[in-house]
Amino acid sequence: MTIKDILVHVDSSRAMPNRVAAAAGLARRHDAHLTGLYVIEMPVLPSYAEAQIPAEIIKAQRQAFAARAADSEKQFGEITGSFDVRSEWRCVEERCIDALSLHARYADLVVAGQEDPGDPQCVSRGLAGRLVLESGRPVLVIPTRGEFGVIGENVLVAWNTKREAVRAISDAMPILESANRVSVVIINAKSDDPENSGIPAADIGLHLARHGIKTQAKSLYGAPAAIGELLLAAARDESADLLVMGAYGHARLRETIFGGATAHVLARTDIPTLLAH
C-alpha cells in the first residue's frame, strides 16, 4: 500500500497556507499527486426569502466568493510550485462536507484543518470529525497554529485493540514504513487482558515488525476522561511530528456532549494528527 493521491481542503482561512504546505510536503515525501479542493457553499434561503433579495446583492455575493476562491487558488499554486509536486485545483459549489466526502473517496488521504473559532473565514467547524466518519478515508488534521516542515519521521501511535485503532494503523502504514521512529502507546492496559497476550502492545509491535517497522512501546494510565490529554502529552514527550489514532470509539454525539478522546484531540492538538474510523 502506498500514498499516491492526496486531497487537501483549501479555504480562505489564515491557517490555510500552512495546511497546504503540510500537504505538499507529504506529497513530495511520498511522490504523490496533490489535489486542492475549494468549496463555495452558498447560503441556502427559503424561496420566499430569496425572492426578496435584489439580484444585484446575490450577484455581488457570488463575485465575492469567486474572488476569495481565486486568491486561494493563487496561493495554492505558489505553495505547490515551491514544493515541486504534481498538483491540480478544483473549485465546486456545494455543501462543504458533501463535496469533500465525495472527492475524498478518490484519494488515499484527506488533509483538513483544525477548527479556529477566532477566524471568520475558517469553515472547518466540525468538518474534520465529520470527514472521518463520512468520507471512508483517513483524515490528517493540521493544527491551526504552527508550521510543520516534516510529517511522519517521528510517529506516535495510539493503540487499544479496537477496530478504529486497527483501521488507523492500516491507513497510516505507508507513513509508518518510511518513519525514522515509531512509538506505540497503549492506554490503561491490563496484563491479564487476552487481547494483549500478557504484554501490552506486544502483538501490534510484532505485526509492525513484520512490515519492517521497529517500535518501542509505552503504557499510560489515567481516567477515561483524560485519555485525549494523555495522548497529546505523550506525543509532546516523544517530540512526535505525527499522532496516529482511531477516532470515535464511542458515538460521535456522545463524545460531543460528554467529551471523549477524539473530541479532545481535535480541539486541542498542536501536532498533525491522523484519524481513521
Q: For residues 4 and 56, which has the higher predicted lDDT (pLDDT)?
A: 4
Report percent pLDDT > 90 for the chain: 69
Q: Which residues contact 122 (CB under 8 A, 6 or more apart)?
A: 11, 13, 14, 15, 113, 115, 116, 144
- Quote the pLDDT of residue 257: 40
**pLDDT surpasses 80 at 109:** yes
- Quote the pLDDT of residue 8: 98
Q: Looking at the domain assignment, is residue 149 inside a domain? A: no
CA triple 180-236-85, angle to 5 deg: 50
Q: Which residues contact 203 (CB under 8 A, 6 or more apart)?
A: 195, 196, 197
Which three three-digit cell numbers place residue 190?
Answer: 491490563
- SS3 (DSSP) at 203: helix
Q: How many CA atoms lie within 13 A of 33 on its CB side?
A: 8
Q: For residues 221 and 276, which has the higher predicted lDDT (pLDDT)?
A: 276
Domain boundary pick from 142, 173, 200:
142
Q: Which residues contact 173 (CB under 8 A, 6 or more apart)?
A: 1, 211
- The pLDDT confidence band at residue 110, using thresholds 50, 70 and 90, is very high
The runs of H, that is alpha helices, within the chain are 16-30, 47-50, 55-83, 96-104, 127-134, 163-178, 202-209, 227-237, 252-258, 261-268
- Quote the pLDDT of residue 124: 74
The domain in which residue 232 lies consists of 154-276
- SS3 (DSSP) at 215: strand
**pLDDT surpasses 70 at 197:** no
Judgement on whether residues 113 and 199 belong to the same structural domain of the protein: no
Q: Which residues contact 115 (CB under 8 A, 6 or more apart)?
A: 122, 124, 125, 126, 127, 128, 144, 266, 267
* pTM: predicted TM-score of the whole model, two decimal places: 0.90
Judgement on whether residues 118 and 212 belong to the same structural domain of the protein: no
- Quote the pLDDT of residue 254: 47
Judgement on whether residues 169 and 263 belong to the same structural domain of the protein: yes
Judgement on whether residues 158 and 225 belong to the same structural domain of the protein: yes
